[in-house]
């Protein structure tokens, strides 16, 4: 699966000869236009170093990735994993007696996406950051099918960051008058987490900014039914009040879901 981040000019590596490490989907490296498959015995090592900020102690990496057996065996497994990477033509890790690190100028899709989301969240996004992508819902799923503790923690942290980034993108697009794209970005966030109220809110706000009150009401009604069915609760009061104000403006006395309840 191709992470959507690199489809935007602002998110494309600036060094033409720089290798790109992909962690969304199956770990792989793309270099000079060639896709290099990471050997099975080396995937976890490559991902572990990248997810630890690009630097990790050798002993910590070996002990975490190969916990069974003694330290000598773990160290041997680590050396084998490094050898397999070099044999496959993947030269993205530097190693010495004490540490491992992602080689300088290597582009990591995870870092590119998180930096992009960070600029949107902080309000420092450039015009190029406001590109919309051909996102798929699973594009936000880091290393799918991996259940190591060190993956699970990072996967959730990064998922939250990217969801916040998509919500911020939708709001920036509304301000820029690009409401159709704002709707699309918000719908990706909703597709990833339908029960996430902040995502539902930006979708409703985008519909309202576009003048589509009926679409906003339909979105609210669907979300209202989902929260009652899945959680047994009502949507937040602020969300209801947002729509009520627009309904009152066009003389709609109640929301569709409330009408059915009465």
Q: What is the dihedral of CA 153, 155, 160, 164, to 10 degrees?
A: 140
Nearest to 155 by CA among 100, 114, 200, 201: 114
Mind listing the pLDDT tens digit for each residue in 167-189? 999 999 999 999 999 999 999 99
Per-residue pLDDT tens digits of the chain, which is 262 residues long: 233 443 443 444 445 578 999 998 888 999 988 899 899 989 999 999 999 999 999 999 999 999 988 899 999 999 999 999 999 999 999 999 999 999 999 999 999 999 999 999 999 999 989 986 666 656 667 898 899 999 999 999 999 999 999 999 999 999 999 999 999 999 999 999 999 999 999 999 999 999 999 999 999 999 999 999 999 999 999 999 998 887 777 665 555 665 555 5
Q: How far apart are CA 189 and CA 205, in angstroms?
A: 14
Q: Would you say how long the chain is, in residues?
A: 262
Crossing angle of the two packed helices 71-87 and 40-51, in degrees rounded to 10: 100
Question: pTM value?
Answer: 0.84
Quick one: CA dihedral 44, 48, 49, 55, positive or negative?
A: negative
């Amino acid at each position: 699966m191709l992470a959507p981040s690199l489809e935007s000019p602002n998110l494309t590596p600036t060094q033409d000869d720089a290798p790109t490490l992909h962690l969304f989907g199956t770990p792989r490296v793309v270099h000079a236009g060639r896709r290099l498959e990471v050997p099975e015995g080396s995937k976890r090592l490559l991902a572990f170093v990248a997810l630890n900020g690009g630097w990790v102690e050798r002993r910590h990496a070996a002990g975490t990735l190969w916990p069974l057996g003694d330290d000598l065996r773990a160290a041997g497994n680590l050396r084998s994993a490094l050898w397999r990477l070099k044999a496959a033509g993947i030269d993205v890790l530097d190693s010495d007696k004490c540490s491992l690190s992602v080689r300088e100028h290597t582009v990591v899709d995870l870092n590119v996406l998180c930096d992009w989301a960070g600029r949107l969240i902080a309000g420092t996004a450039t015009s190029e950051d406001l590109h919309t992508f051909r996102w798929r819902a699973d594009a936000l799923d880091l290393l799918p099918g991996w259940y190591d503790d060190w993956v699970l923690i990072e996967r959730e942290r990064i998922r939250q960051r990217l969801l916040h980034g998509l919500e911020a993108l939708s709001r920036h697009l509304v301000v820029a008058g690009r409401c159709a794209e704002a709707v699309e970005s918000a719908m990706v966030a909703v597709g990833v987490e339908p029960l996430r109220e902040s995502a539902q809110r930006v979708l409703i706000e985008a519909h309202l900014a576009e003048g589509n009150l009926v679409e906003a009401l339909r979105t609210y009604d669907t979300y209202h039914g989902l929260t009652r069915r899945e959680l047994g609760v009502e949507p937040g009061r602020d969300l209801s009040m947002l729509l009520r104000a627009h309904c009152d403006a066009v003389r709609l006395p109640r929301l569709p879901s409330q009408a059915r309840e009465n």
